[in-house]
Chains A and B, each alone.
Chain A
Amino acid sequence: MNIQETYSSLGLSDFEYDRILELMGRAPNFLELSLLSVMWSEHCGYKNSRPLLGRFPNEGTRVLQGPGENAGVVEVGDGWALVFKMESHNHPSAVEPYEGAATGVGGIIRDVLAMGARPVALLNSLRFGPLDDERNRYLFREVVRGIGGYGNAIGVPTVGGEVEFARAYSGNPLVNAMCIGLVRSENLMRARAVGEGNLVILFGAKTGRDGIHGATFASDELSEESEEKRPNVQVGDPFAEKMLVECSLRLLEEGLIVSLQDLGAAGITSSASEMAAKGGVGIEIDAEKVPLREEGMEPWEIVISESQERMLAIVEPEKAGEVLKIAERYELVAAVVGRVTGHGDLRIMRGDEVAGTVSARHLADAPVYEREVLAPAYLEEARMLDLEELPGPRDYNSVLLSLLAHPNLCSRRPIYEQYDHQVGTDTVVLPGADAAVMRVKGTTRGFAATTDCRGRHCYLDPRGGGAAAVAEAYRNLSCVGAEPVALTDCLNFGSPEKPDAYYQLVACIEGVAEACEALGTPVVSGNVSLYNETEGESIYPTPTVGMVGVFEDVGRHATPGIKREGDALVLVGNFRPVLGGSDYLEIVHGRVAGAPPVPDLASEKAVSDTVRRAIAAGIVDTAHDLSGGGLAVALAEMALSGGIGAEAQLLPGGRQDAALFGEVGGCILVAVPEGRLGELEEHLEGVHYSRIGRTGGERVRVSALIDAGLDALGEAYERDLFERYAPEGGQIG
């Protein structure tokens, strides 16, 4: 292999190789080239997205740590801080779904742990192709099993998430995992190597050949040959990670470490060089000191291995003995593998011999590409929708039942029942509500979290869809009564080298940023996953938002389930539903078309804030936002969740199918006892609202159009998404 073939096979372009020559002033050896190729991959280096990410606001009164660390941090109160981040594991999950998803969970837990926090909650956001395809069913089943397999064993509850199915994700599923940790603010850790002469200790699992060049793989498009890259996917061991969590927390508690960093993509190379670059120092790693799982590994393999369940700590020399002793107590392998130096390089040693040296600054400084932004041709055509052509349904009841039974709208119970969502005894609101609600033990406080994005919406209107994702998250948190604080995002897009996908990336980022500014929720951490394509087709642009909110009194929260007969049903918000881009249009009419509702961010904020204040005041305990499937589906969900029916009247005007099933942002349905309606109305001053009905009975009725029993609705809604796997006898193999 000549040098050009070598660097090309490592994912570097001619331009990038020339730049390396220029920076180093000499030709790199293979190890050095490997270090640079993994650190300059899109996955680690954000070559195509870095300039765009600067658009996000990332400051706020509660923000303790914005982007640039392993995870973002916000204040909860009483000295507690929430550490959180979401990350993608799309490519590994496409070829090896169980391990891909499992190690996605493991990786994000270590990010939170590296900040010194105890991981206390997991969420996820998943996308698959339609379930009529066997491969998609396999990916879906195994990803869910992988998330559960890891999260359940490690004992961090999986408390929320979302899933959508669309043709655009066939063959390229999205697996975005989010972790939230709790830490006392004064104990926050940062990944910064300091103190020349301090030691570098690697602890956790042994290092093997798994995941070599995983970061480079993750930065490539998926193709037929991707299957051959299965060996690039790491294998997870939640048991080892459980020990790693407990051991790390113990080391932190005893004040034995100066700095902590997890090992993820690009392994030791990425961790050590990032710590060195941030601390303005150098790090020397002796590959021969790294405990290995297999024989004959070359230094370049050792330092870019992505073996899971490992952490790197910077330790003062006199404390090293105690650190090694504690690691042993937790049955972990630990070794001093290097030291902090003054030279500013990441230097890989093989005993006394230098195997390679690259400046930590150069490793952290991947080239940046800015491309021309061209509006895609498909947009105009896709947005055309002639409503005259669309016949109204003859039977509204059966439309409602088919919406409720559709994989994009039906109950998520078969998924979340496979996740331990209660371990830790802090889960206040169980999965199935608009957002997960957790308490902070020993205080009255709590927090809520949600993940949101509508891919189809972003496809039809990238900028509006980006803003709508943030608005929906804000609304979901408000529906449970939490004050939205900040968000993490996972930007899942196609190849930035293609104009359509690059436009989508730029426009979605603009939309997300606009909404963040309008709603006052900064972006404090995140991740970018590009090249999500199979056989040349891009996924829907999917800027997933993971938002957290806080409660002063977590006892005052709301859930969607109707709680009493005879409550007044009040629709809060400016109800102007549209059919463009709706679930109804896709599910009933088979069309992905039209202009989705454009978010009115000022109104979103006013409505959400109003409802949240009514919940905090103890007036409202039942709230649910309008989302996919519109008013009819929202009402059915509230009735099914509470086991009590409801009767509502449509507001006059417009098409009836739009009123029932059309979609609209900024609308929340609340149920409140008649006796407290006056108090609620005081809170609602200044926002649109109307009383549309009352709760009670065992049916859901809307005007003269819908009249369905809870049993029939439940039968449609509570379907088993995995049922098609079931061999005879109902067993899942």
Chain B
Amino acid sequence: MRIGVTVFPGSNCDRDALYGVERAGAEPVELWHADANLKGVDAVVVPGGFSYGDYLRPGAIARFAKVMGPLEEFAKSGGPVLGVCNGFQVLTEAHLLPGALLRNRSMRFVCTRVRTRVENTRTPWTSLFEPGDELTLPVAHNEGNYFADERTIAELEDEGRVVLRYLDNPNGSVNDIAGICNEGRNVVGLMPHPERASDPALGSAEGLKVFESVLRFAGVKV
């Protein structure tokens, strides 16, 4: 299985995502922002970082990058897409996911490990988890405070589209939301960084299952 990782100017978790994908057993493929070409990959990760310096608003400029055209088509046709941190912000800006990520309630950047609970295992990125599984995952963001209007939040909750919830909310996000998916459940956005918890040498491999899930989804034996 081939998993693409988009690289925007200012992406800085692209190498980490490529590393995580490779550790899970997939073939990592770099997708350059200026090429309107997904190179035939089976899934796409939009990694963390500060695409375009976070200027204007995180993700606001990246959504207009050339690679986003085919990526949006891929997402709309059911292809598995995962946005992590800045990637999540890019996907909301591109309206592939609802809502927005506001500045942390503390108004400070926060880098720590938080406890989370898996809420929805019917997505390509969480299929190997059991509902209610608790994971400790790294977060590192300035704008991770998920927000949407009441109707959207109610919809997300009713349809079970909250994928991951904080047990210790680090940023003030509504309903402790750490990750959501789209209606088709193929597009997932997460604020925590599964790729940073993909190696026992760094203290945790709990996040590796996110990438292994998409392999199983694609029919690869994990």
Interface on A for B, CB 8 Å cutoff? 148-149, 152-155, 237-240, 242-243, 329-331, 416-428, 439, 441, 554-555, 722, 730-733
CB distance from B131 to the nearest CB of A (A): 28
Main secondary structure of the interface of A (DSSP, over half): loop
Residues of A within 8 A of B142 (CB): 152
Bits for B105-119, please: 1 = Cβ < 8 Å to A, else 0: 111111110000000
Residues of B within 8 A of A420 (CB): 109, 111, 140
Q: In the complex where A154-B12, A155-B12, A425-B202 touch, is A417 in contact with B112 (Cβ < 8 A)? A: yes
- Which single member of A152, A329, A422 contacts B50 (CB below 8 Å)? A152
Bits for B1-45, please: 1 = Cβ < 8 Å to A, else 0: 000000001101101100110000000000000100000000000
CA distance in complex: A647, B128 (Å): 44
- Which single member of A148, A153, A422, A426 contacts B10 (CB below 8 Å)? A153
Residues of A within 8 A of B49 (CB): 155
The reply to whether B107 and A422 contact each other, CB–CB distance below 8 Å, is no
Interface on B for A, CB 8 Å cutoff? 9-10, 12-13, 15-16, 19-20, 34, 48-50, 52-55, 105-112, 138, 140, 142, 193, 195-196, 198-199, 201-203
CA distance in complex: A733, B106 (Å): 9
CA distance in complex: A330, B52 (Å): 12
Q: Which residue of A lies closest to B107 (CB)?
A: A732
The reply to whether B110 and A428 contact each other, CB–CB distance below 8 Å, is no
Q: Which residue of B lies closest to A733 (CB)?
A: B107
Residues of A within 8 A of B111 (CB): 152, 416-422
Residue in A149, A239, A441 with the greatest tally of chain B CB atoms within 10 Å? A239
The reply to whether A239 and B16 contact each other, CB–CB distance below 8 Å, is no
CA distance in complex: A149, B108 (Å): 10
The reply to whether A153 and B138 contact each other, CB–CB distance below 8 Å, is no
The reply to whether A731 and B105 contact each other, CB–CB distance below 8 Å, is yes
CA distance in complex: A424, B50 (Å): 14
Q: Which residue of B lies closest to A158 (CB)?
A: B111
The reply to whether A153 and B54 contact each other, CB–CB distance below 8 Å, is yes
Residues of B within 8 A of A424 (CB): 15-16
CA distance in complex: A26, B142 (Å): 57
A148-B109, A242-B50, A730-B106 given; name 9 further pairs at CB < 8 Å: A153-B10, A239-B9, A242-B12, A420-B111, A423-B12, A424-B16, A426-B202, A554-B201, A731-B106
Q: Which residue of A lies closest to B110 (CB)?
A: A417
Residue in B111, B193, B201 with the greatest tally of chain A CB atoms within 10 Å? B111
The reply to whether A422 and B196 contact each other, CB–CB distance below 8 Å, is yes
The reply to whether A425 and B9 contact each other, CB–CB distance below 8 Å, is no
Residues of A within 8 A of B106 (CB): 730-732
Residues of B within 8 A of A239 (CB): 9-10, 50, 52-55
Residues of A within 8 A of B199 (CB): 425
CA distance in complex: A276, B105 (Å): 52
The reply to whether B108 and A732 contact each other, CB–CB distance below 8 Å, is yes
The reply to whether B201 and A418 contact each other, CB–CB distance below 8 Å, is no
Residues of A within 8 A of B53 (CB): 153, 237-240
The reply to whether B140 and A242 contact each other, CB–CB distance below 8 Å, is no
Q: In the complex where A153-B54, A239-B50 touch, is A423 in contact with B108 (Cβ < 8 A)? A: no
Q: In the complex where A237-B53, A242-B9, A242-B12 touch, is A425 in contact with B196 (Cβ < 8 A)? A: yes
Residues of A within 8 A of B198 (CB): 425
Residue in A153, A331, A416, A441 with the greatest tally of chain B CB atoms within 10 Å? A153
Residues of B within 8 A of A426 (CB): 202
Residues of A within 8 A of B110 (CB): 417-418
CA distance in complex: A731, B199 (Å): 35
Residues of B within 8 A of A732 (CB): 106-108
Q: Which residue of A lies closest to B112 (CB)?
A: A417
CA distance in complex: A20, B184 (Å): 75
Residues of B within 8 A of A730 (CB): 106
The reply to whether B16 and A427 contact each other, CB–CB distance below 8 Å, is no
Identify 15 residue pairs between A and B in the complex whose beta-carbon atoms are under 8 Å apart, listed by A's number: A148-B109, A153-B12, A155-B13, A155-B50, A239-B53, A239-B55, A242-B12, A417-B108, A418-B108, A419-B111, A422-B193, A424-B16, A425-B195, A425-B202, A428-B203
